[in-house]
Amino acid sequence: MTPSPSTGTVLDSIIAGVVEDMDTRKATTPLARMQQLAAEAAPARNAYDALVGGRDNAAGVGIIAEVKRESPSAGPLADIASPAELAAQYAAGGAAAISVLTERRRFGGSLEDFDAVRARVDIPLLRKDFTVDEYQIYEARAHGADLVLLIVAALDDTQLRDYLALTHELGMHALVETHTVEEIQRAVAVNASIVGVNVRNLKTLEVDTAHYGTLAGHLPANVVRVAESGVKQASDVAMYAAQGADAVLVGEALVKHGEPRQAIADFRQASRS
Ligand SMILES: O=C(O)c1ccccc1NCC(=O)[C@H](O)[C@H](O)COP(=O)(O)O
């Protein structure tokens, strides 16, 4: 059975704004032109390989380090004068990939931030947005993304399958984000290869780091397992790694940290057992 798409009020309101903004961009750059730009972009980097490296315990868990200016739950997080410089610090600290929020209204992100980061670092980049239309997937590729976010709660099964197929067709991977056992089952049913469990409930914004451990047993061994959100310190990363996470997505703790490069090195070190 295909559950109805997002019912959470926060998620619904974010998506409504995302669609309005996307329609404005479509008026400037129609789908056909965006498809052409995507086809002309340099080939995507292999984000799957970069993240599966987190299974090598000697290297420590993979860190997906996020460029996040603000959020619906916390408001303004950090005055990021140069997303490119922050990303360079992340890469120097050993991040496996970088996530750049491009949603404007609630996260203060933009494709300009994404472009600045893309121009500066050569590791896989996640275009972190609320994907609800194929246009955004072509757009991500046109801007040099290697990875897009597909939130299961925001998509019906047909969209999930089609958007994952398009992502792969364009040479990218998708981080398929879940929050419940049923959503994991839906992700697995479409053969998602990278599955995230977000410990932040996007309907209530409640964060419970114990939630990853509750769901981890439902993640098949053949997918790259990503624990998302809630990291405050290195011990949180160590906990996710001990529960089988191959990679951990960290936003707030890194953008608020005075030394993000060192923080990532510490996170990776803490996850080695
Ligand atoms: O961060 C939020 O408040 C938020 C609200 C509604 C939808 C999504 C939201 N965040 C997206 C994320 O999942 C996080 O940016 C990411 O996992 C990093 O989380 P954190 O390390 O807790 O900043």
* Residue 53: per-residue pLDDT: 80
Gap between the Cα atoms of 33 and 120, Å rounded: 25
pLDDT at residue 96 greater than cutoff 60: yes
* Residue 3: per-residue pLDDT: 42
Output the six-digit token pair for 29: 């750059």
Instruction: Establish whether residue 106 lines the binding site of ligand 1, counting it when its CB lies within 6 angstroms of any ligand atom.
Output: no
| CB-based contact 105:21 (threshold 8 Å) | yes
Pairing of strands 75-76, 70-71: antiparallel
Pairing of strands 173-178, 147-151: parallel
Output the six-digit token pair for 188: 């697995």
| CB-based contact 158:2 (threshold 8 Å) | yes
Give the model confidence (pLDDT) of 115-165 as tens digits: 999 999 999 999 999 999 999 999 999 999 999 999 999 999 999 999 999
Going by pLDDT thresholds of 50, 70 and 90, the confidence category of residue 2 is very low
Give the model confidence (pLDDT) of 33-57 as tens digits: 999 999 999 999 999 999 998 677 7
Specify the 3-state DSSP secondary structure of 144: coil
pLDDT at residue 5 greater than cutoff 60: no
- Among protein residues, the one whose CA lies closest to atom 14 of ligand 1: 229
* Residue 153: per-residue pLDDT: 96
Position 126, amino acid = L
Gap between the Cα atoms of 98 and 110, Å rounded: 15
Predicted TM-score (pTM) of this structure: 0.96
Taking the centre of ligand 1 as the mean of its atom positions, its distance from the CA of residue 66, in whole angstroms, is 9
* Residue 8: per-residue pLDDT: 58
Give the model confidence (pLDDT) of 224-246 as tens digits: 999 999 999 999 999 999 999 99
Instruction: Give the nearest ligand 1 atom to 207 CA.
Output: 22
Angle (deg, nearest 10), helices 9-28 and 134-142 = 60
What is the set of domains in the chain, with CATH numbers? 9-270 (3.20.20.70)
* Residue 60: per-residue pLDDT: 85
Gap between the Cα atoms of 13 and 15, Å rounded: 5
Gap between the Cα atoms of 3 and 7, Å rounded: 10
CA 183 to chain centroid: 16
Going by pLDDT thresholds of 50, 70 and 90, the confidence category of residue 58 is confident
Instruction: Establish whether residue 72 lines the binding site of ligand 1, counting it when its CB lies within 6 angstroms of any ligand atom.
Output: yes
Output the six-digit token pair for 111: 């494709």
Instruction: Establish whether residue 231 lines the binding site of ligand 1, counting it when its CB lies within 6 angstroms of any ligand atom.
Output: yes
Residue in the block written with tokens 């990875």: 147
Question: What share of the chain in percent tops pLDDT 70?
Answer: 96
Taking the centre of ligand 1 as the mean of its atom positions, its distance from the CA of residue 71, in whole angstroms, is 7
Taking the centre of ligand 1 as the mean of its atom positions, its distance from the CA of residue 269, in whole angstroms, is 24
Tell me the CA distances in angstroms from 203 to 24, 122, 191, one per residue in order: 26, 34, 25
| Catalytic (active-site) positions | 66, 68, 128, 177, 198, 228-229
Residue 268 has φ and ψ, to the nearest 5°, of -65, -40
- If one counts every other C-beta atom within 10 angstroms of the C-beta of residue 208, the result is 12
Instruction: Establish whether residue 225 lines the binding site of ligand 1, counting it when its CB lies within 6 angstroms of any ligand atom.
Output: no
pLDDT at residue 1 greater than cutoff 80: no
Instruction: Establish whether residue 202 lines the binding site of ligand 1, counting it when its CB lies within 6 angstroms of any ligand atom.
Output: yes
For residue 42, give the DSSP letter.
P
Taking the centre of ligand 1 as the mean of its atom positions, its distance from the CA of residue 175, in whole angstroms, is 14
